[in-house]
């Protein structure tokens, strides 16, 4: 599974509904019916996200959140508070307790999944930073928190001066905010010293989606976080915005606490990612990287997989997933190697942001990527690989505003006791070859080899 999520609600129907919705997206879901049960689970299980009802008998959601954020073992886990729609005071209490974001009742599926995906990406980057420190969770906390600067540089783009100014008034309490009504000038401004772009998707004078696509096709703004403001009734347009490459959404009318929470998450993620980039060379001896994609290269992967092979001898399953970009030679021959490089970088980004933080993702050579998934059976690896395959084929790569459809094929092999790395790679490669013969844009699994 791509992430482990804890759902906390004292009402069983609410829990079951959320469990079903999250499970359909292939998340591993745990549930708790009380605040104390939630704390007990968090103490013993590895979690990536907590969805927490605010109002519960006994230990309420605010106190649970406060205790999770104070605990040396759980302070880094993102918490989404589920609050009543009209209760602004609940959101303020949630922020004070350390909540990372909010979902309002009745729960909207699109909004919930947007919150979940956004915060899981933040958790992944936090995990990467924690790994780089080489210290315990508790000892790493001051360093991680020091990266989260109190103010960011934010650019708001809209054709309505009043809307922009109302938002800016709220944000200027903490951040440096500039406003822009001209989309062409906004592109130039975004290439400067900006940490976050907030863009309207409901403007009459310009197409916010086209602006986002232009920013994603520009190397200087490709990684700039984008928060899009839209209408809840235009879900298809919001889905399209995610396809274009925005990072998060906020619905009109804009609610102050939700605005501050969304902005805080995107800035935190930006600052953490900047730190990882800045410190990359210092970690070069530990992470031997591919210079094009930033992933680990073949040497790094081979070295990282050896402990997993040793664990397989004791019966601990792990699976190897081998991805190959379909018809990549045609991309290079027709569109050029620069376009090919852009495709490889985009595939690498989608792989690393959609696998778990414990999975080892590397570029093994050419258009081939490999992923080692610890404690994962072939069946679970196939679910994850097929979900990511569908994401890649369903989301074009944008080059100078033009959409290029790309797909991948994948082969999977589950390691068994006594197998060498060469054996596992051979079986995964055979499964990949089968996927190619089967028409590409598909995932195949090698039969599990019986232990000798």
Q: Where are the alpha helices (DSSP H) in 71-181?
A: 88-97, 109-133, 137-147, 161-171
Which phi-psi region, left, alpha or beta, contains residue 232 (left: φ > 0; alpha: ψ -120 to 50)? alpha
Q: How many CA atoms lie within 13 A of 198 on its CB side?
A: 29
Tokens 């989301």 correspond to what residue?
Answer: 395
* Residues facing 443 on adjacent strands: 410
Q: Pseudo-torsion of CA 55, 57, 58, 64, nearest 10°?
A: -20
**Exposed/middle/buried for 178, CB within 10 Å: 0-12, 13-18, 19+?**
middle
Please state, in angstroms and rounded to a whole number, the distance separating the CA atoms of residues 215 and 224. 8
Structure tokens at 381: 């690896």
Give me the DSSP letters along 171-240: HTTTSEEEEE--HHHHHHHHTSS-SEEEEESS-SSS-HHHHHHHHHHSTTTTT--EEEEE-TT-HHHHHH
Please state, in angstroms and rounded to a whole number, the distance separating the CA atoms of residues 260 and 234. 23
Residues annotated as catalytic (active site), given as ranges: 367
């Amino acid at each position: 599974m791509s992430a482990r999520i804890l759902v906390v609600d004292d009402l069983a129907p609410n829990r079951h509904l959320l469990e079903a919705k999250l499970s359909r997206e292939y998340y591993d879901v745990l549930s708790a019916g009380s605040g104390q049960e939630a704390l007990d689970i968090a103490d013993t299980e590895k979690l990536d996200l907590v969805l927490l009802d605010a109002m519960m008998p006994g230990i309420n959601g605010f106190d649970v959140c406060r205790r999770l954020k104070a605990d040396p073992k759980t302070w880094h886990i993102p918490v989404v508070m589920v609050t009543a729609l009209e209760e602004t005071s609940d959101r303020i209490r949630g922020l004070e307790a350390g909540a990372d974001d909010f979902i309002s009742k009745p729960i909207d599926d699109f909004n919930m999944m947007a919150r979940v995906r956004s915060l899981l990406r933040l958790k992944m980057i936090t995990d990467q930073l924690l790994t780089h420190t080489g210290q315990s969770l508790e000892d790493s906390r001051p360093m991680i928190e020091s990266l989260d600067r109190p103010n960011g540089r934010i650019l708001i783009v809209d054709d309505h001066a009043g809307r922009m100014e109302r938002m800016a008034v709220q944000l200027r309490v903490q951040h440096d905010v500039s406003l822009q009504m001209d989309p062409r000038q906004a592109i130039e401004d975004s290439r400067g010293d900006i940490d976050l772009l907030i863009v309207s998707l409901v403007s009459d004078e310009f197409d916010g989606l086209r602006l986002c696509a232009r920013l994603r096709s520009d190397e200087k703004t490709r990684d700039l976080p984008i928060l899009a403001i839209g209408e809840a009734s235009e879900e298809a347009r919001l889905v399209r915005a995610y396809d274009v490459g925005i990072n998060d959404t906020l619905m009109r009318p804009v609610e102050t606490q939700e605005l501050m929470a969304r902005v805080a998450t995107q800035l935190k993620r930006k600052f953490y990612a900047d730190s990882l980039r800045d410190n990359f060379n210092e970690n070069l001896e530990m992470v031997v990287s591919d210079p094009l994609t930033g992933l680990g290269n073949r040497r790094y992967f081979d070295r990282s997989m050896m402990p997993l092979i040793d664990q397989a001898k004791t019966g601990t399953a792990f699976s190897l997933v081998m991805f190959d970009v379909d018809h990549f030679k045609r991309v290079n021959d027709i569109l050029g190697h620069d376009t090919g490089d852009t495709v490889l970088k985009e595939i690498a980004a989608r792989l690393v942001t959609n696998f778990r933080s414990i999975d080892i993702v590397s570029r093994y050579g050419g258009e081939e990527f490999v992923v080692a998934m610890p404690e994962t059976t072939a069946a679970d690896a196939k679910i994850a690989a097929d979900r990511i395959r569908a994401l890649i084929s369903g989301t074009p790569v944008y080059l100078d505003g033009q959409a290029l459809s790309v797909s991948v094929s994948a082969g999977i092999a589950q390691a068994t006791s006594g197998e060498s790395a060469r054996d596992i790679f051979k079986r995964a490669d055979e499964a990949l070859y089968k996927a190619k013969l089967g028409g590409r844009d598909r995932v195949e699994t090698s039969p599990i080899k019986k232990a000798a």
